[in-house]
Amino acid sequence: MITKYYSNKDEIYNTYDKDDLGFTYSKEETTFKVWAPAASQVLLKLYSTGSYQEDGATVLSIKQMKKDDATGVWSKTIQGDLHGVYYTYLIQNGEKISETQDVYSKATGVNSARSMVVDLERTNPEGWENDKHILVDEQTKAIIWEIHVRDFSSSNTSGVSKAHRGTYLAFTETDTKVPYTQQKTCLSYLKDLGITHVQLNPVFDFGSVNEATGVEYNWGYDPVNYNVPEGSYSTDPYNGEVRIKEFKQMVQALHNAGIGVVMDVVYNHMYSGDDSCFEKTVPNYYFRKQGSRYLNSSGCGNVTASEKVMFRKFMIDSVKYWAEEYHIDGFRFDLMACHDYETMNLIREELDKIDKRILMYGEPWTADNGDNGISGEDCCSKQNAKKLSSRIGMFNDDMRNGIKGGSDDDTKGYIQGSNYDTYKVLAGMLGASSDTFGRWAKRPSQCITYASAHDNLTLWDKLLKSNWKKNFNTTDDRIIEQNKLSAAFVMISLGVPFMLAGEEFARTKFGEHNSYKSPDNINSIDWTRAIGYKELVDYYKGLIAIRKKMPLLTDSSEEAVHKTYMTYNGKVIAGTMANIDGGDDEYKYMAIVVNNTGEKCPFELKSKYELPNRWYVIVDHDSASGEAMREFDNRMEIRPYSALVIVDADSYDRIHNVKEKLLIPNNEC
């Protein structure tokens, strides 16, 4: 139950703070409750099916609901076992009578029109009672891989059975391979890669794909029912129970593989304003409006009102429901600056009661600040990061742009040889938490570090465009080198690393920068690229493994910045990390050096601590194996177009129990 609100702007309506909106099911009876304070009449209509067809024949009954004036909640209890019964409300506001599904729907029939009563226990897959959240101690220990359910397996290169391609159940297939090869795909591939969490593009019920045919493609940033899984990813969208069970099977399979599940939640706008269950239930309440005009900071036709008591409550209830019922391990908030910071902090507080380690982060921007309807002081922008919990992260677009240049244009960033925005890279490497280089975050846990996401060109396509190349399958050295530098920056930085699925094997969308409704042949993961770009995959994999062995990189405290020393000489970036209080199984010193020029460059390592004399190279131009490849000879030069990661030899020898010094000759720095 939500007991605390920092603001109450609802002068007109009485509100409701209990947690039983929607239906409360038992085998003996089901009670329906809907908050509709402005309504003069509400009827409950029960159906035997969930689809529009044969309406007259499928109506079971229509019942009058009763209003509690103190709260504005209408309720009705029906005797009997209602599992599988579909329902709508007929709500009269003024002269207008609207038929709508339940705002608090947990299940629906095909294409969302009717809600369904569901006994959730019957949707639990075998072993669900033993399924546990996959969590990391601190947000900065997460390594996030962003994937669209359909893209994951829609291509026949996934090796997933035809019936499961593009569905939740594709995640449950183990030992999948690219046909006729030994290349692992999907879940078995992810286990090897070493990421800790997948972030799923929208998996709540959205409106842009016809569930009856499933033909269209869409990312799904157009919510219809927030608390219902999308039907087009299930094997039977007509039966409201199936998608719930299959969604849980997906979560269970990922959890069994040791991978956490982050949901991309889009509370900032809906598929439709006027036709949404929210507007039909309580007109002119849940959305920000100016007269009859919907404000549009979401850029998608309407923006919701997180500051209103009952939408705030809805967001909190919804997030809690996914975390508890579906064991979701993290939430990524789309266009988070459409929301007020009080709401986001309350969500953090409520999630903390379930588990403090549940991830929370979002996009710190809107599509149109001028049409947001809440002040710049109140919204979740980077400027207001200090008002938010330090465990609510924000995507660091500054570092993203500093690394590679503009997201869709042909401008260059540091990795393509430009030194114009290098300070943004330096600030980002310090988790946007350094007063010296630029700070908006309170701590590194607030900074999501990345170079690519579902929006915009893939990193590979961006590199091709900015280098004026046209071959999407190129193995051009320079492009591969630049990709490696980007990976090194993202993984060997403070903050929370994040990447678009397939970034590690040169994923291409053939130059399409906004593929939200492009066909599968643009969006699908082509798993054969994991073979063609194995060198890149191995490089990412190595960096991920190294990150996990250097606690300072995943330190979310404010002190982490002070143990890290960044230098930049106009060409080369060098960062030294001192973890001198670390345990015997941890590296004490690590340094990353990056050269974006075509020449060997000198550099200098600096630290406020005394630096060791002996170092080993564990990442160089060619490899990021994490194994000591050779001793670093202090000549302090770095090869062209390369990133170097070195660790102090004493720690390495101690950790790896090396009895004799490495005897590999020093022939290259």
Nearest by Cα to 245 from 173, 326, 319, 163: 326
Q: Does 205 bind Ca ion (CB under 5 A)?
A: yes
Active site residue 69: no
Q: Looking at beta carbons only, is 206 or 589 nearer to Ca ion?
A: 206
Nearest by Cα to 644 from 654, 636, 653: 636
Q: How many residues does the chain have?
A: 669
Q: Looking at beta carbons only, is 196 or 234 nearer to Ca ion?
A: 234
212 dihedral zone (left: phi>0; alpha: psi -120 to 50; beta): alpha
Please give the Cα distance from 552 to 444 (Å, whole number).
11
Compute the least distance from the CB of residue 228 to Ca ion, in Å: 8
Compute the least distance from the CB of residue 61 to Ca ion, in Å: 27
Residues 354-393: x where in contact with Ca ion by CB under 5 A, - otherwise, as a string? ----------------------------------------
Compute the least distance from the CB of residue 214 to Ca ion, in Å: 10
> What does the CA dihedral 277, 280, 282, 283 come to, rounded to 10 degrees?
130
Residue 597: alpha-carbon gap to chain centroid: 34
Helices (H), 304-458: 309-325, 341-354, 397-404, 422-429
Active site residue 19: no
Compute the least distance from the CB of residue 230 to Ca ion, in Å: 5
Our CA angle for 195, 199, 205, nearest 5°, is: 155
CB 221 within 8 A of CB 206: yes
Q: Does 222 bind Ca ion (CB under 5 A)?
A: no
Q: Looking at beta carbons only, is 100 or 185 nearer to Ca ion?
A: 100
Q: Looking at beta carbons only, is 205 or 620 nearer to Ca ion?
A: 205
- Which residue matches tokens 């490089």? 539
Which of these ranges, 202-210, 380-388, 468-476, 523-531, lies near Ca ion under the rule CB under 5 A? 202-210
Compute the least distance from the CB of residue 227 to Ca ion, in Å: 13
Q: Looking at beta carbons only, is 205 or 342 nearer to Ca ion?
A: 205
Compute the least distance from the CB of residue 270 to Ca ion, in Å: 12
Residue 632, CA distances (Å) to 166, 494, 525, 652 in order: 47, 24, 39, 13
* Other CB atoms within 10 Å distance of the CB of residue 192: 10
DSSP 3-state assignment of 510?
Answer: coil
Q: Looking at beta carbons only, is 65 or 250 nearer to Ca ion?
A: 250
CB 187 within 8 A of CB 249: no
CB 56 within 8 A of CB 79: no
Compute the least distance from the CB of residue 224 to Ca ion, in Å: 6
Which of these ranges, 203-211, 311-319, 504-512, 571-579, lies near Ca ion under the rule CB under 5 A? 203-211
Residue nearest to Ca ion (CB): 205
* Residues pairing with 648 in the sheet: 615
Cα four-point dihedral sign 432, 436, 438, 441: positive
Applying CB under 5 A, the site for Ca ion has a residue count of 1
Compute the least distance from the CB of residue 231 to Ca ion, in Å: 5
Please give the Cα distance from 256 to 249 (Å, whole number).
10
CB 398 within 8 A of CB 405: no
Residue 602: alpha-carbon gap to chain centroid: 39
Compute the least distance from the CB of residue 85 to Ca ion, in Å: 20
CB 239 within 8 A of CB 107: no
Q: Looking at beta carbons only, is 205 or 504 nearer to Ca ion?
A: 205
CB 648 within 8 A of CB 612: yes
Find the helix or strand (DSSP H, E) in which 488 lies: helix 477-491
Which of these ranges, 55-63, 197-205, 214-222, 288-296, lies near Ca ion under the rule CB under 5 A? 197-205
DSSP 3-state assignment of 222?
Answer: coil
CB 158 within 8 A of CB 241: no
Nearest by Cα to 176 from 196, 190, 195, 197: 190
**The one catalytic residue among 307, 334, 526, 631:** 334
SS (H, E, C) 39-83: CCEEEEEEECCCCCCCHHHHEEEEEECEEECCCCEEEEEEECCCC
State the number of CA atoms in the 13 A half-sphere of 619 facing the CB: 31
Which of these ranges, 67-75, 78-86, 199-207, 405-413, lies near Ca ion under the rule CB under 5 A? 199-207
Which of these ranges, 204-212, 246-254, 375-383, 504-512, lies near Ca ion under the rule CB under 5 A? 204-212
Q: Looking at beta carbons only, is 105 or 416 nearer to Ca ion?
A: 105
First to last CA, the chain: 61
Q: Looking at beta carbons only, is 245 or 507 nearer to Ca ion?
A: 245
Q: Looking at beta carbons only, is 50 or 413 nearer to Ca ion?
A: 50
Q: Which residues bind Ca ion (CB under 5 A)?
A: 205
Report the catalytic residues: 334, 363
